[in-house]
Amino acid sequence: MTPGAARAAVFLDRDGCLNEDWLNPATGAWESPLSPGDLILRPGVVDGLLRLQGAGLPLVLVSNQPSFAKGKCSLADLAAVHARLLALLGPEGVRFLECCYCHHHPDAVMPGYGGACPCRKPAPGFLLRSAERYALALAGSWMIGDRDTDIACGKRAGTRTIQIANPRAGHQAGQATPDHRAPDFAAAVAIICGGV
Ligand SMILES: [Mg+2]
Ligand SMILES: [Zn+2]
């Protein structure tokens, strides 16, 4: 890389990628955790994130979190879950260049949070904004996620894509054509960083 050239980054989905989905007892469905205590990291995530960092790749979190828009929780709940993520990862040495949350939903019940937005995956808005803001080279970057919408988002932004297996993703996975598939986070990181 020449001095001043744009650098590659790794864009990361959150739920089902960095942390486990949460079983909502009210719906019986796997959803985003809405309480800090329900956020549990998936195996290998801390070591994997540190390895990516060690390879000089900035980390950008890109997550759809529409539960407030749907009337299922407060914005404070969403902030508390995010704080829990940072509390688990920060002391380990993980630093995000940026954490991007879309709080919109097309069928929102909360005024001001509905309709189409440029930031809800599969829309690539956050990736494009981060690339502009931090001089990131999207073509050399990666998007890692568990759902087909994560892969579509990465493709629209022009990144390479890795889909992580998540049995709880259900019908939200299986139709995409990622550049790579990985059984877990460590395997995804190995694809990016190479070898053992
Ligand atoms: Mg996900
Ligand atoms: Zn949005």
Q: Which long-range contacts (CB under 8 A, 24 or more apart) does 71-78 make?
A: 71/109, 71/110, 72/34, 73/34, 75/103, 77/34, 77/35, 78/34, 78/103
- Structure confidence at residue 196 (pLDDT): 44
Query: How far, in Å, from the CA of 188 to the mean position of ligand 2?
Result: 26
Render pLDDT for 5-20 as a digit per residue (tens, 0 to 9). 689 999 999 999 999 9
Amino acid present at 48: G
- The ligand placed nearest to the CA atom of residue 12 is 1
193 CA to middle of ligand 2, Å? 31
Helix (H) and strand (E) counts in the chain = 5, 8
Q: Could you say which ligand is closest to the alpha carbon of residue 106? A: 2
Distance 19 CA to ligand 1 centre (A): 9
Residue 49 has pLDDT above 50, yes or no: yes
What is the whole-number distance in angstroms between the Cα of residue 91 and the centre of ligand 2?
29
Band (pLDDT 50/70/90 cuts) for residue 2 is low
Q: Give me ligand 2 centre to Cα 61, in Å.
A: 14
**How sure is the predictor about 73, in pLDDT bands with cuts at 50, 70 and 90?**
very high
Active site residues: 13, 15
Q: What pLDDT is stored for residue 3 in this prediction?
A: 53
3-state helix, strand, coil in the chain (%, to 5): 35, 20, 45
% pLDDT > 70, the chain: 96
Predicted pLDDT of residue 163: 98
H or E stretch covering 162: strand 160-164
Extended strands (E) in 3-96: 10-12, 22-24, 29-31, 59-64
The answer to whether 126 and 119 are in contact (CB under 8 A) is: yes
Tell me, what's the pLDDT at 195?
Answer: 57
Distance 190 CA to ligand 2 centre (A): 31
CA distance 15 to 18: 6
Q: Say whether pLDDT at 1 is over 70.
A: no
Q: What are phi and psi of 96, to 5 degrees?
A: -95, 140
Whether residue 26 is predicted with pLDDT greater than 50 in this model: the reply is yes
Tens digits of per-residue pLDDT, 83-133? 999 999 999 999 999 999 999 999 999 999 998 999 999 999 999 999 999
Neighbours of ion ligand 1 (CB under 5 A): 13, 15-16, 146-147
178 upstream amide cis, omega within 30 of 0: no
Integer Cα distance of 15 and 17 in angstroms = 5
Q: Name the closest ligand to CA 21.
A: 1
For 168-180, what is the mean pLDDT?
95
Could you report the per-residue pLDDT of 151-162, keeping only the tens digit for each? 999 999 999 999
